[in-house]
């Protein structure tokens, strides 16, 4: 796909060009912009957009641009705002016209033709929207109307709906097979995870429009949590590469929770979430603190096996600070090629319940660790990083995967480094910190 647009303007038309760029910032942000030196400086001062600088037209900039049009396939269009009195037989425009004609590159010479051309270029992208109509607590029909109003002026959009018999992953696989430029998931974290499972390992980008209760993956990736902001993020088209994971051969974008977290999610049923929203998880979590019992855990970290007694085990690929039980190391890094593991260990007898006060104190510390991006210092919480994790428990424990209960232990989780391309607005931080990667190192 061509990714570069050339911007040029005569002196009398530079204000018009600045205004045009300001009006079309979202659409233009999908492309690399190039311009002759004086035009580039004017655009930078007037709009703040980044522009690659060519030579000025008087010093061969027209020839340089014509050469790039003829030699490369990256030039999507040329926008040259001409002075109305300009002589069209001038060599500087003739060389560009000839180059554009030879390579079939569109050339716009005023605001109206530039607007029409840009609309055509942006709509040349195609996307398949996988829409879960039962996600969230809002009006799904109104949500879809707004999404189409925002996206369809820029993207050729096909919409498919999940049903009790047609899964998001099935629809997403059909979209991948059709060769679209991007697949968009609109729903909760479960819908996003299912779509990501079909997209992972391909060059197709995943766009996300969050409409679930928690929307934790969007929070972790910096994607706006409202429909309008999420659609603008998709239109902008900035892609980031992040890690994926598999849990018992199922796709995992966020985390797998064993014990406390799984029981909490199981208690927060759809009816409760529709009534209370995110508060449903807090209510369920407080109830589970009175009921959670400890269990024997055998955990294998990158081939090294250890045994502990625990009340909760969390293995995370990505997670926002609000996913408290993933914060043993203070930060879950989604593009480091590792999984973050937190074990809530205990020496209590097998049938004893969590000590509620101690558990709450530990969670408060974990939340503080996430805010400060520092690892926890509590002796009953062990944080590790690993590329592969296996967990067995006695008795078997429920497992929650990306917000959905999938069964019980045992489980095996593998990180897939750089396995997913997503449309996200910010650079995801990385770290060079060295954390322990085995239980023995953590205890030493």
pLDDT tens string 8-66: 999 899 999 999 999 888 778 768 899 999 899 989 888 888 899 998 888 888 889 99
Query: Mean per-residue pLDDT for 393-410?
Result: 92
Q: Is the pLDDT of residue 192 over 80?
A: yes
Query: For residue 426, what pLDDT band results from cuts at 50, 70 and 90?
Result: low
Q: What phi and psi, each to the nearest 5 degrees, are found at residue 391?
A: -135, 130
Query: For residue 424, what pLDDT band results from cuts at 50, 70 and 90?
Result: very high
Report the mean per-residue pLDDT for the chain: 82
The better pLDDT of the pair 443, 156 is held by 156
Rounded to a whole number of angstroms, the CA Rg of the chain reads 26
pLDDT at 20: 93
For residue 81, the surrounding DSSP H or E stretch is strand 75-81
The answer to whether the CB of 394 falls within 8 A of the CB of 367 is no
| Residues belonging to the active site | 62
pLDDT tens track for 213-246:
889 999 999 999 999 999 999 988 889 999 999 9
What is the rounded distance in angstroms from the CA atom of residue 18 to the CA atom of residue 269?
52
The answer to whether the CB of 7 falls within 8 A of the CB of 51 is yes
Q: Is the pLDDT of residue 116 over 80?
A: yes
The answer to whether the CB of 224 falls within 8 A of the CB of 218 is yes
Q: What phi and psi, each to the nearest 5 degrees, are found at residue 256?
A: -115, 130
DSSP 231: H
Among 21-35, 93-107, 369-383, the minimum mean pLDDT is found in 369-383
Among 99-113, 140-154, 379-393, the minimum mean pLDDT is found in 379-393
What is the rounded distance in angstroms from the CA atom of residue 436 to the CA atom of residue 442?
6
Domains of the chain, CATH where assigned: 4-122 (3.40.50.1380), 126-237 (3.40.50.10330), 252-415+433-443 (2.60.200.40)
Degrees, nearest 5: CA angle 224-230-232: 120
What is the rounded distance in angstroms from the CA atom of residue 211 to the CA atom of residue 187?
5
The closest alpha carbon to 40, from 25, 57, 23, belongs to 57
Burial of 303 (C-beta count, 10 Å sphere; 0-12/13-18/19+): exposed
The better pLDDT of the pair 375, 200 is held by 200
Please, which residues bridge with residue 54 across strands?
36
The answer to whether the CB of 307 falls within 8 A of the CB of 296 is yes
What is the rounded distance in angstroms from the CA atom of residue 11 to the CA atom of residue 97?
20
What is the rounded distance in angstroms from the CA atom of residue 226 to the CA atom of residue 129?
16
pLDDT tens track for 310-350:
888 999 999 887 777 777 666 788 999 999 998 887 765 44
What are the structure tokens assigned to 48, written together?
Answer: 């703040």
Q: Is the pLDDT of residue 366 over 70?
A: no
Q: Is the pLDDT of residue 440 over 50?
A: no
The closest alpha carbon to 114, from 33, 175, 50, belongs to 33
Range ranked top by mean pLDDT from 65-69, 130-134, 304-308, 347-351: 130-134
The better pLDDT of the pair 344, 273 is held by 344
Measured torsion, CA atoms of residues 22, 26, 32, 34, in degrees rounded to the nearest 10 = -10
pLDDT at 368: 45
Q: Is the pLDDT of residue 1 over 90?
A: no
Among 4-8, 208-212, 242-246, 289-293, the minimum mean pLDDT is found in 289-293
Q: Does a cis peptide bond (omega within 30 degrees of 0) precede residue 410? A: yes
What are the structure tokens assigned to 229, written together?
Answer: 């902001």
Among 168-182, 284-298, 369-383, 406-420, the minimum mean pLDDT is found in 369-383
Q: How far is CA 328 from CA 124, 246, 305, 374, 376, in A?
A: 45, 21, 19, 9, 6
pTM of full prediction above 0.85: no
Q: State percent of the chain over pLDDT 70.
A: 79
pLDDT at 345: 78
pLDDT at 369: 46
Q: Is the pLDDT of residue 132 over 70?
A: yes
Query: For residue 254, what pLDDT band results from cuts at 50, 70 and 90?
Result: very high
pLDDT at 432: 41
Q: Is the pLDDT of residue 300 over 60?
A: yes
Tokens 């998001």, residue?
168
Query: For residue 180, what pLDDT band results from cuts at 50, 70 and 90?
Result: confident
The better pLDDT of the pair 126, 299 is held by 299
Return the half-sphere exposure (C-beta side, CA atoms, 13 A cut-off) of residue 194: 23
Query: For residue 171, what pLDDT band results from cuts at 50, 70 and 90?
Result: very high
Among 20-34, 251-265, 307-321, 373-387, the minimum mean pLDDT is found in 373-387
Query: Mean per-residue pLDDT for 126-148?
Result: 92
What are the structure tokens assigned to 425, written together?
Answer: 């607005």
pLDDT at 89: 81
For residue 257, the surrounding DSSP H or E stretch is strand 255-259
């Amino acid at each position: 796909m061509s990714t570069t647009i050339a911007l040029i303007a005569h002196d009398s038309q530079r204000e018009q060009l600045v205004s045009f760029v300001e009006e079309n910032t979202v659409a233009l942000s999908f492309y690399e912009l190039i311009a002759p030196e004086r035009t580039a400086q004017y655009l930078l001062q007037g709009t703040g957009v980044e522009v690659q600088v060519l030579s000025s037209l008087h010093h061969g900039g027209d020839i340089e641009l014509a050469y790039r049009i003829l030699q490369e396939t990256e030039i999507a269009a040329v926008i040259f705002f001409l002075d109305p009195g300009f002589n069209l037989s001038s060599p500087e425009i003739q060389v560009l016209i000839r180059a554009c004609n030879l390579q079939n590159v569109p050339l716009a010479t005023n605001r109206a033709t530039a607007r029409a051309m840009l609309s055509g270029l942006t709509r040349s992208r195609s996307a398949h929207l996988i829409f879960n109509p039962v996600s969230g607590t809002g009006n799904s029909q109104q949500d879809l109307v707004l999404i189409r109003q925002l996206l369809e002026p820029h993207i050729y959009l096909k919409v498919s709906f999940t049903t009790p018999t047609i899964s998001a992953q099935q629809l997403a696989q059909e979209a991948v097979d059709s060769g679209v430029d991007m697949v968009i998931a609109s729903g909760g974290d479960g819908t996003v995870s299912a779509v990501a499972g079909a997209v992972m390992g391909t060059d197709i980008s995943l766009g996300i429009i969050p409409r679930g209760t928690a929307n934790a993956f969007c929070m972790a990736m910096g994607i706006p949590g409202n429909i309008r902001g999420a659609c603008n993020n998709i239109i902008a088209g900035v892609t980031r590469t992040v890690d994926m994971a598999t849990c018992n051969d199922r796709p995992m974008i966020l985390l797998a929770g064993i014990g406390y977290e799984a029981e909490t999610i199981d208690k927060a049923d759809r009816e409760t979430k529709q009534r209370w929203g995110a508060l449903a998880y807090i209510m369920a979590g407080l109830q589970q603190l009175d009921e959670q019992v400890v269990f024997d855990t055998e955990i294998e970290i990158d081939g090294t096996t250890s045994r502990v007694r625990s009340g909760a085990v969390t293995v995370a690929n990505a997670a926002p600070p609000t996913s408290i039980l993933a914060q043993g190391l203070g930060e879950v890094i989604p593009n480091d090629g590792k999984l973050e593991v937190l074990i809530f260990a205990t020496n209590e007898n097998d049938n004893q319940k969590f000590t509620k006060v101690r558990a709450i104190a530990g969670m408060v510390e974990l939340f503080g660790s996430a805010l400060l991006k520092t690892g926890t210092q509590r002796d009953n919480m062990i944080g590790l990083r690993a590329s592969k994790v296996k967990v067995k428990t006695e008795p078997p424990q429920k497992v929650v995967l990306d917000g959905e209960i999938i069964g019980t232990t045992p489980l095996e989780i593998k990180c897939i480094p750089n396995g997913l391309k997503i449309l996200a607005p910010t650079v995801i931080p990385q770290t060079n910190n060295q954390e322990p990667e085995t239980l023995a190192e953590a205890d030493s």
